[in-house]
Amino acid sequence: MSQYGTLGVAVIGTGRMGADHVRRISEVTSGARVAAVVDIDPERAKRIAEGVDGCTPYTDPAAAMAADDVDAVLIASPGPAHEAALLAAFAHDLPVLCEKPLTPDAASALRVLEAEQRLGHRRVQVGFMRRYDPEYARLKALLDGGTLGRPLMLHNRHRNAATPPGFTNAMIINDSVVHEMDVTRWLLGQEITSVTVVRPRRSAGAPDGLDDPQLVLFETDGGAVVDVEVNLNCGFGYQVQAEAVCERGTARIGDGHAMVTSAAGRWGGTIAQGFVERFENAYDRQVQAWVDATRRGEVTGPSAWDGYAAAAVCEAGVRAQTEGRRIAVDLAGRPPLYR
Ligand code: ISE
C-alpha cells in the first residue's frame, strides 16, 4: 500500500460483529476496503466475499495475512481464537484492530504483550469502542480539563433488553462489565485495584442459571470508587449511562435525549434496543480512526496493555462473583512500550 493508497483489510471471523465490520468498511469507512474475509465455515466466507468487490474468502487466517493485497487485519473471531490470530499478524508485522477481548484471560494477554514487545513497536488497537462514542469523549474531555475537580466516584448503568442463549455469570463480567473496566481506566486515568460483586435477588426476567442483575464495585489506585449496575434482562431496551461525581460538580451521559417529543399530553423519547444501534457511531468512528492512523503509519487507541489490564480486572471480577468477597487485581508492571 502506498502512503495514501487504500488499506486492504482482512476481516477474520464473519459472525455478527465481523459481518457488520465488512459492511462498515465497504460502505462507511473511507480509505479502506475489505480485501479478504476469513471464516472456519468456507461457505459463509465465500458468501460474504461474493458481496464485496475484489474480496477473497479464506478459512485460514495466516493464509489471508500472507496475501499481497492484505495490509491490515481486523480480528472479530471468538475470543479463544484471538491469540493465534494476533501472533500470526505479528509474524507478518501487520497492524491489527482486535475486537474485545484481546484474549480470554490475563496469562494469554500477557503472552500477546510480550510478543508485541519483541516486535519492538505497537501493532494492536483493541476494540473498546466506547472510547469513540461522542458522549463518552465529551465526558473524558471534561474530566481531563479539570474544571470539576478530581473525580471521586463513577456511577454506571449497563442494561441490555435480554441476554442471548447460553449467557453465563462469568460472561456478565467478561463480555459486559469489561466495557466499564475499560472506560473507568480511560476516563479516570487510573488502574483498578480491586473488584467486589454484590447481588440483589434474581430478577424474574433472568434466564435459569443467570444471577441477573448484579452490582459490581471497583476501587482504583487514585482513590476513586466506581459502581456498575449490570442488568442484562431488563426487558425494555439497551441503556448505557455514566455519571462522574467530582469535587466541584457532576457530569452524566447516556440519557438518550437526542430527541424528545411532546404530544397528546405526554413527553418522551425512544430507547435503543441493542448495542449495535446505541454504539453505531462509536463503531464507525473507531474503525475510521484505526484506518486513518494505520495509513499514517501510526498506532493509536486502546493498546494491548489496555486489553491485558481489562483481562486482569475480569479475572478478579469473576473470582469476586464466585467467592463473594472483595478481590485484589493482580496486575503486572506496565512495560515501557505502553507508557
Ligand atoms: C456484548 O458483548 C457487548 O459488547 C455489549 O456492548 C454489551 O452491552 C453486552 O452486554 C455484551 O454481551
Q: Enumerate the domain spans of the chain.
A: 7-130, 134-278
CATH no., domain 134-278:
3.30.360.10
- Residue 1 is predicted with a pLDDT of 53
Q: How close is the Cα of 22 to the center of ligand 1, in Å?
A: 19
Three state DSSP letters for the chain: CCCCCCEEEEEECCCHHHHHHHHHHHHCCCCEEEEEEECCCHHHHHHHHHCCCCCEEECCHHHHHHCCCCCEEEECCCHHHHHHHHHHHHHCCCCEEEECCCCCCHHHHHHHHHHHHHHCCCCEEEECHHHHCHHHHHHHHHHHHCCCCCEEEEEEEEECCCCCCCCCHHHHHHHHHHHHHHHHHHHHCCCEEEEEEECCCCCCCCCCCCCCCEEEEEEECCCCEEEEEEECCCCCCCEEEEEEEECCEEEEECCCCCCCEEECCEEECCCCCCHHHHCHHHHHHHHHHHHHHHHCCCCCCCCHHHHHHHHHHHHHHHHHHHHCCCEECCCCCCCHHHC
Architecture of domain 7-130: 3-Layer(aba) Sandwich (3.40)
- Residue 5 is predicted with a pLDDT of 84
Answer whether 175 contacts ligand 1 (Cβ < 6 A).
yes
pLDDT at 13 over 90: yes
pLDDT at 4 over 90: no
For residue 12, the cross-strand partners are 38, 75
pLDDT at 278 over 60: yes
Q: How close is the Cα of 84 to the center of ligand 1, in Å?
A: 23
Question: C-alpha grid cell for residue 327?
Answer: 478481590
- Residue 2 is predicted with a pLDDT of 45
Best substitution site from 158, 173, 176 to test ligand 1's pocket, by max atoms within 8 Å of Cβ? 176
Average pLDDT (155-168) is 98
Q: How close is the Cα of 93 to the center of ligand 1, in Å?
A: 30
Answer whether 231 contacts ligand 1 (Cβ < 6 A).
no
Q: pLDDT tens digit string along 203-213?
A: 999 999 999 99
Q: How close is the Cα of 156 to the center of ligand 1, in Å?
A: 14
Q: How close is the Cα of 296 to the center of ligand 1, in Å?
A: 31
